[in-house]
Copies of this chain bind each other. A is one copy, B any other.
Amino acid sequence: MTQETLLDRRTRLLGKHFPLFYDRPLHLLRGEGVWLYDADGRRYLDVYNNVPHVGHCHPRVVDALCTQARMLNIHTRYLHENIVNYAERLTATFDDDLKMALFCCSGTEANELALRIASKHTGGTGIIVSDHSYHGNSATLAALTTAFPTSEVKGPYIRTIRVPDPYRDGQTGDATAAEVATVIREMEAQGIKLAALLVDTLFSTEGLPNVPEGWLKSAVDHVHAAGGLFIADEVQPGFGRMGSHMWGYQAHGVTPDLVTMGKPMGNGHPLAGVVARGNLVNEFAAESMYFNTFGGNPVSAAVGLAVLDVIRDENLMENARAVGDYIQAGLHKLAANYDIIGDVRGRGLFFGLELVRDRTTREPAPRETSRIVNQMRENGVLISKIGRHENVLKMRPPMLFNREHADLLLSTLDRVIGSI
């Protein structure tokens, strides 16, 4: 089967808009640690994938998956230790107030559940999100997607704010916090009660802006004062990726009412969840029977536990901090050499370069960004792009990325950016 034929069959069966990376699509066969291997046996350094959080096909995670899958895989209306042990281990990584967990299969399901809990608690329907964000693919979440078009109508109960971005537009933290207060007032004037503020605490889709300290706390104070809840979407920053903290919200000095998590949670296995404050779960479930067929089943819980074990035993959060700092330093050196690099972004093992055509006007360089992403792939390093101008190189490798990998990334970036 040639690659072209595979692509044709894919288009016929899955549709012509089914997303595909790179001008020259990559046909992958094997993954191991931070490495991916294509159908020709060529090796690629993976600086994109956060789903294989502790590394592609980590043997300890796969062993946990297979051992449990051979033993029992069943829904959670029977007693089983795995889900209880996992909920205990997971909630132990959160602040004291966040001590209950519900499990599901995807970030979409997690954000749906958190919004349902918030609506029930507040009696409200109003939702505030960032004006360049994405939280999932259900009808409700598509309606509040602002990072790309969807066919859903954005009703008056969805309001957007602009996340502060000191580099790009000078929006300050105070201005964004004030915007939150304003949209709450506007909703109330229309008779819409606030349910929740929902943000990715690393603002990755927004392009990883270096947000000022304290702004999120001010924004959340407005939300709480209006009776709303704060939902921290930890799909991107969670599970130690930021190096400094296990969860992104912790870097903002604020405690959420609900935390949602997904992608990295099962290292590829479809596992997601919601961790909730105080009595929110009991209050919600008293009125709405919530049951998720696959969520938290013995296999999913075993996988989730193994991921937590590996993060701890391989010191992956500490590694994210140390290697992340090393890469940040390297990116700053590159920025000193190349005018196209307008800004260096990120924290821990999630970093980006904002590319501009002119350092004074800061005119975004999306075409160059796309060329670099594709050239990096041709040079054996997989990255992508984000941001409202699609001009931020997105780099987010598995958590066992080390200095040697970092050197290969930096030298390849140096060569590719130099050739553009």
Contacts and interface: CB of A to CB of B under 8 A. Distances in A.
Contact of A51 (B36, B74, B102): B74
Interface in A46-82: 49, 51-52, 56-57, 59, 62, 65-66, 69-81
A282 B142 CA distance: 17
Contacts of A139: 112, 115-116, 119, 138, 140
A361 interface: no
Nearest to A276: B15
Contacts of A101: 13-14
Given A65-B65, A81-B6, A105-B294, A72 B28 contact: yes
A119 B140 CA distance: 13
B73 A52 contact: yes
From A70, A74, A102, A149, residue with most partner B Cβ within 10 Å: A74
B51 A293 contact: yes
Interface in A71-117: 71-81, 83-84, 87-88, 91, 99-102, 104-109, 112-113, 115-116
B71 A29 contact: yes
Interface size class, chain A: 35 or more
Given A139-B115, A140-B138, A56 B74 contact: yes
A6 to B, nearest CB: 6
Contact of A57 (B36, B71, B75, B83): B71
Contacts of A57: 69-73
A270 B248 CA distance: 27
A29 B73 CA distance: 9
A100 B290 CA distance: 31
A62 B69 contact: yes
Interface in A260-301: 262-263, 267-271, 281-282, 284-294, 296-297, 299-300
A106 B65 CA distance: 19
A142 B120 CA distance: 12
Q: Tell me the interface secondary structure of chain A in the complex.
A: mixed
A69 B268 CA distance: 9
A232 B335 CA distance: 55
A367 interface: no
A3 interface: yes
A56 to B, nearest CB: 7
A277 B271 CA distance: 30
B74 A36 contact: yes
Interface stretch (A17-25, A166-174, A207-215): A17-25
B268 A14 contact: no
Given A79-B7, A120-B151, A151-B119, A137 B13 contact: no
Given A18-B76, A69-B62, A88-B9, A294 B282 contact: no
Contacts of A16: 282, 285
Contacts of A420: none
A403 interface: no
A37 to B, nearest CB: 8
Contacts of A99: 12-13
Nearest to A46: B74
A262 B73 contact: no
A102 B25 contact: no
A152 interface: yes
A10 B103 CA distance: 13
16 contacts: A6-B81, A13-B99, A14-B84, A14-B296, A18-B76, A20-B79, A27-B78, A28-B80, A57-B71, A73-B268, A105-B109, A116-B138, A138-B138, A150-B287, A152-B288, A263-B293
Q: Which 7 A-B pairs have the closest CB atoms?
A: A17-B285, A73-B268, A270-B294, A13-B87, A105-B105, A270-B270, A27-B79
